[in-house]
Structure 1
Amino acid sequence: MSEDIKKEDVKDIPETEEMKAGETEETAAETDTQETEAEETSQKELKGGFFKKKKDPKDEKIEELTDRVKRQMAEFENFRKRTEKEKSTMYEMGARDIIERMLPVMDNFERGLAVIPEDKKEDPIAEGMEKIYRQLQKVFEEAGVKPIEAAGNAFDPNFHNAVMHIEDESLGENIVAEELQKGYMYRDSVVRHSMVKVAN
């Protein structure tokens, strides 16, 4: 028994020393790993954490100039849109002005044609007036000018201007009995209201 214990004791001694040596190596490896992690953490903190690097003056200048260019481009785009809108508005105003000046000419043609007797409608002068009138109508139509429907329709203050009122049982309430002067629209806006006689 004593010999066996002695042999076991002798075997245990080298094993214990090897274990101690292994533990020492593991401890040293853990220490190295901790030191490496600490260095990496400190480098990260230096890069983007506590101690930020100051921007290069050139980069700052580039950012400033880029921002200025973007602002100027936006201002120019706004100016272009505003100018286009103003030009469109000016064109509309100019077109309306010309149409308003031409309407009395159209009225006079209609009045002149209305008083020509039936037996004189084939005369060269009457035919010439009729052709000019039709040509004028075509020009107005191509420009977007169209007459407002009035006679027989319900009175609408947006399109009609009532100057007379009559009682007529054959017509309904607020019906346009007669058109005294033709009204016109340019595109979607009224250039001149129809002058009308309203019944009931």
Structure 2
Amino acid sequence: MISLKEKPEKGSEGMKEQEKKFQEKEEKDAETSAENIEEKEADKKDSEEKAEDKKDDLEDQIKAKDAEIADWKDKYQRLMAEFENARKRMSKESTQRYDMGAMGVLEKLLPVIDNFERGLESVSEEEKDSAFVQGIQQIYKQLISVMEDLGVTPMDAEGKEFDANLHNAVMHVEDEELGENIVAEELQKGYMYKESVLRHSMVKVAN
């Protein structure tokens, strides 16, 4: 038979056992909670690392696209520059071909102008007022006007310094009134077509 004195001792031991189990459970729960926190932190860190890696990959892709765009832009600008140069070259060549053709035609008209001028110079004073001569003068003026509209202008070399690029010297004379290497007389009128020589002036050069 168990005495009353022994019962409390047994009950005390039971309580201690329960407290021990409860404490162990709390410790275990605490360990589990700590492990869960560590796992969550690890998962969070892993997610952050993955997000950072993804961000780096995205930045690399953007840089690669930017480089590709810059390369295509450079190629486009080079192509446009080449196209513009080709267009200007073709335009210049076309203008040169037109000018060469025009000069060939205009040069053939110069003897006609020469004949008009010689004919008008040979008209006597009595004939200058005649209707025929007046008509010839009007035709001559119209021809000169058309030539000027096309870009043909006379050189008017007389009294200017001789220039081999513009003048063709056929005679030399001594003239104290003129300086050295000065055109004393224009024997045949020279003409320019725009910036090019259409026909050299045939000149007499002094000294």
1:81, 1:151 → 2: CA distance? Answer: 39
TM-score for both structures, normalised by structure 1: 0.67
1:191 matches 2:202: no
- The aligned counterpart of 2:132 is 125
Percent identity over the alignment is: 51
Deviation at 1:125, TM superposition (A): 2.6
Q: How is 1:7-156 mapped onto 2 (pairs within 5 angstroms)?
A: 24=34, 26-40=37-51, 83-156=90-163
Deviation at 1:187, TM superposition (A): 1.1
Runs of 4+ in 1 over 3 A off after TM superposition: 20-23, 37-49, 73-87
2:112, 2:90 → 1: CA distance? Answer: 34
Q: Which amino acid aligns with 2:135?
A: G
Unmatched segments (≥5 aa) in structure 1: 1-12, 53-69
TM-score for both structures, normalised by structure 2: 0.65
Unmatched segments (≥5 aa) in structure 2: 1-22, 62-75
Deviation at 1:88, TM superposition (A): 2.3
**Number of corresponding residues:** 164
2:92, 2:157 → 1: CA distance? Answer: 33
1:139, 1:47 → 2: CA distance? Answer: 71
Deviation at 1:40, TM superposition (A): 3.8
User: Does the residue aligned with 2:186 lie in a helix, a strand or coil?
Assistant: strand
Larger Cα Rg: Structure 1 or Structure 2?
2
Provide, for residues 23-63 of structure 1, a one-character-per-residue CA deviation record: whole Å limited to 9, x for no partner: 825433321222323444666688898xx9xxxxxxxxxxx
Q: Quick one: structure 1 residues 35 and 184, their matched pair in 2 at CA, closer, same or farther if it must change by over 3 Å?
A: same
Q: Quick one: structure 1 residues 99 and 40, their matched pair in 2 at CA, closer, same or farther if it must change by over 3 Å?
A: same
Deviation at 1:80, TM superposition (A): 5.7
Instruction: Give 1:178's match in structure 2, choosing from 182, 185, 202.
Output: 185
User: Does the residue aligned with 2:202 lie in a helix, a strand or coil?
Assistant: strand
